[in-house]
Structure formats: C-alpha cells, structure tokens
Structure 1
C-alpha cells in the first residue's frame, strides 16, 4: 500500500516502516484515557519496530505522574536505542533523558534554538547540538494569549516551587542530618532521603529537584 508520489522518479531509502507516537487526546468512544492511548501506541512501536524503521516519539510519559512518566520514557528510549536500534527522533521535556547520550554511542542530543527578548521569546526553529538548557513554558503560555495576571501568578508560584523543591532535600530534620556521616554508604543516605519524602505532596518540579539530589548523592559517593 501507499500513496501516489508526484515525481517522475524517486529513490526509496531502506526504511521498512514509519511509526509515530505524537499528540495527546482521549479516546472517549473507546473508553481510553490520554495515557492509555499513548501507551497503546508506544507498545505497538516497541513490539514491532525494527532496525530499519523510522520512529517518531513525542513527550512519552507526560500523561501520568512525574516519576512514572520519566521511568517509562527512559526505558522506552533506551530500548529503541540499545535493542531495537531504529532511527528515532525522541522529543521530551524530561531533561534526565539527555544523559542517555553519555551511556550509548548511538544517541545524540539536539534542541531547537530560541532567543529571549525581555519577557518575549522568538523560536528560530534551528537545530543545535546538545540538550536545551531551559524550558520556555511561561513564555509559550504568554504567546498563546494566557492573561498577563495568570502568567505573573504562575511565575511567582514557579519560584515558590523551585525553592520548596530544594528545601525538601536540603532542609533535612536535625536527627537525620546528624546520622548522615561522612563515611555512610550512598544506599543508606538514599534510603534516608527517600524516607523523608512524601511523593503525594510533591509538585512535578519538586519531584525533579528531589531526583537531582538523589543522583548527586550517588555521584558524590
């Protein structure tokens, strides 16, 4: 099957199939949530893609909790790169996934360039090497027409969440802080840090900060 190509001649590459997991929408008629639809499409790709397939993945894992989503996105990207070895474009806002490029030779990070001017932003749509160094969620919301008062409230809330995210890890209760001795094993320190966290009370950014701190504990050991 296929479609008519409006050309006198064409050379087809070695691709056997093209898979895409892009977009987010509930399948109400079928009783499927956005996340179930996303996982069904992801499962189809992971089970059927080959090393001759082109795979397009967009924001895998965004339809569930932060840790679940990050874990699923990581495992899916790793399988595609390490086992399936399909040519894959994997778009994500999970910055942690960029470290896969350090572990797997077949993985490389790129980002789309943007220029900020005051509180405004212009997307240049130019591909640059390396991971992005920040997110532009508030700027995009402003471009979309979200009221300025809401943007300002979101900016204040963001600052609070970032501060609380650091506090959840850094401001440990005094007894626990005293017990974290210089020669304490990393797994013990991680266990104690996790015991002090309440996952249900963490906002996404707070959870991300907590994850960074846990990684720092491992790296420092």
Structure 2
C-alpha cells in the first residue's frame, strides 16, 4: 500500500560496445543501482535477471537479488524469471506470490491467452515459441530430444538446495597482537619517550605476526 515514489527497472539491454560492456555487465550494473537506491516506496521491475552467464551463476544471482528486495529493500517488486526454481520463493517469504501468463496447447501448437493467473507456470514453452518463430524443423526436433535428456538427467541428480537461505554469519577475525597493543595505548597520557618506545614495540609485534 501507499504511494510509489520511484520506479526502478532492470531488464533487456543491448551490448555497449563503445564502452566494452556486455549485456550481462549492463544488467548487473542496473540491478546494483536499483538495490542501492530503491526503498519501500519504490516500484521495482526485474525482467529475466541472470541471463548472459552460466545457469547456476544466473540462478544464484537472481535468488540473491530477490531475497534482498524482499528482506531489506521491501519494495513492491514485479520479478519476471525463467528460472523455475525461483517459484519456491513464496514458500519461505511472506507476501511473495507466484503469477503466470496462461497458455493453452493444441497438439504441438500453443496459444498465449494474455491472462494473468495465480501460481507458477506448469512448464516452459521455449521450443514451441521457437517453432512458431520459424525455426527449422531439424533444429526444433533436436532441441526436443536434448530437452528430454536434460530433464531426465536433472530429475536423477537434483539435490535439495535452499537458494534463499541467508549467508552464514562470519566469525569475527582474530585480533592480532598489534591491534591489542594499539587498543591499550592512551596517547594523551604518554610522554614523547613513551610514545617512541610504544612505536618500537608495535613494530616488533608486527614483525613477529608476519612470521
């Protein structure tokens, strides 16, 4: 609820060849700017974050960005993704919901109904869309066979991974002897001679810590 004071968006972009920036780099730059500037009063639009890199890299980044927007930024966000694994997000994040654009199949044909329905999409229609776009039949058939093999392999090897778990708390770094000695010093109460002696002591401790 409430008035949206800013609209932030990241999605498809063309390569910036003049500045030697890839589409993925531009996408990550846009996403970083959004995460730094968006607030609870923002409307954030994320379109297919994570393309242009490996599947696992892209999925992991998309999961992290979604969690950041939900847990910290708390902006109203529309997050379009092709990563089916991200549809598990609402199960662990209150207020998040899945929506999909409905479609119907007739044989190998597909018709998009342009209606938003609750819940995740039941499947991907990439190969059907490629066929409608005029992709050669040999390519479409090859893609179907490859997809069947990949899906079978994924079913056999899929592991339960919590993509949205917060990173583990890092342990406080061990305090060095130099840091301990430095923290114990009171410069205002030291004479010039004591300060010089303390400096030599710190140098000795630093040399010892390096060995």
Could you state the TM-score of these two structures normalised by the residue count of structure 2? Answer: 0.72
Q: Distance in 2 between matches of 1:214 and 1:57?
A: 26
Q: Distance in 1 between matches of 2:131 and 2:65?
A: 32
Q: Distance in 1 between matches of 2:155 and 2:108?
A: 25
RMSD: 1.6
Whether 1:36 aligns to 2:25 is: yes
SS at the partner of 1:88? strand
**Number of residue pairs the alignment of both structures matches:** 161
Which residue pairs with 2:49 in the alignment?
A: 60
Shift of 1:215: 4.0
Whether 1:148 aligns to 2:137 is: yes
Q: Distance in 1 between matches of 2:154 and 2:85?
A: 16
Which residue pairs with 1:95 in the alignment?
A: 84
Which residue pairs with 1:213 in the alignment?
A: 159
TM-superposition CA deviations, 1:171-217 (whole Å, max 9, x none): xxxxxxxxxxxxxxxxxxxxxxxxxxxxxxxxxxxxxxxxx33449x
TM-superposition CA deviations, 1:9-40 (whole Å, max 9, x none): xxxx7111111112132111111011101100
Which blocks of at least 5 consecutive residues in structure 1 are unaligned? Answer: 1-12, 170-211, 217-221
User: Which is higher, the Rg of structure 1 or of structure 2?
Assistant: 2
Could you state the TM-score of these two structures normalised by the residue count of structure 1? Answer: 0.69
Q: 1:109 aligns with which of 71, 89, 98?
A: 98
Which residue pairs with 2:61 in the alignment?
A: 72
Which residue pairs with 1:81 in the alignment?
A: 70
Whether 1:45 aligns to 2:66 is: no
Q: Distance in 2 between matches of 1:47 and 1:129?
A: 30
